[in-house]
Structure 1
């Protein structure tokens, strides 16, 4: 098995040029083909020549965990505040799944009525 850190590959200046760390969608246009890295350097999880064969399994696992959370747990903002949508501006969206810019603190407790389940 071979594992490649896609974030490192996708931001490699030697492969993509000086603007490798920037969101530059025009690099994939046909007229820029000679300026960009070979197609095999783009190792996205969900598309192209490297489409993940386990993507459906992974999606079902995530949905199952979320369903258990919703059915059995109460989640509230820590300290009783209001929900604030986290931002992901500090993440390079072209390279990796977006990450929140800060921690999302919550209080988790069992949902009333499912204690014995």
Structure 2
């Protein structure tokens, strides 16, 4: 396991403002050679929790579908917001929410 938080908040490399978003720090040409920069991507930097995260989401959806009757209230599927950068999760456009109605299932008698 890597000490990711300590690497990403290393003030010796990133500067004193590690808690704030500073896009200019990524312009540094030495970034790809630094041990302080460990993005999740491919090879030896794949996210170690990706399987747990996927299983947790699948279990949540399975429990939701077992306990509730789900109906879609929206008349159309929401459009993505291609204008904002995304770290892997597609963002939904402003006002493009998918509305669902959840009604508890009656327990079998």
TM-score (normalizing by structure 1): 0.53
Paired positions, count: 90
Change (3 A) 1:100 1:74: same
Q: Does 1:15 align with 2:26?
A: yes
What does residue 24 of structure 1 align with? none
What does residue 93 of structure 2 align with? 101
Q: Does 1:51 align with 2:46?
A: yes
Distance (whole Å) between structure 2 residues aligned to residue 36 and residue 96 of structure 1? 24
CA-based RMSD: 3.3
Unaligned runs of 5+ in 1: 18-34
Q: SS where residue 38 of structure 1 aligns?
A: helix
Distance (whole Å) between structure 1 residues aligned to residue 58 and residue 79 of structure 2? 21
- Which residues of 2 match residues 64-83 of structure 1 at below 5 A? 64-71=59-66, 72-77=68-73, 81-83=74-76
Unaligned runs of 5+ in 2: 10-19
- Higher relative contact order structure (alpha carbons within 8 Å, sequence separation ≥ 6): 1
Change (3 A) 1:42 1:88: farther
Q: What is the Cα deviation at residue 92 of structure 1?
A: 0.7
Q: SS where residue 54 of structure 2 aligns?
A: helix
Distance (whole Å) between structure 2 residues aligned to residue 57 and residue 90 of structure 1? 30
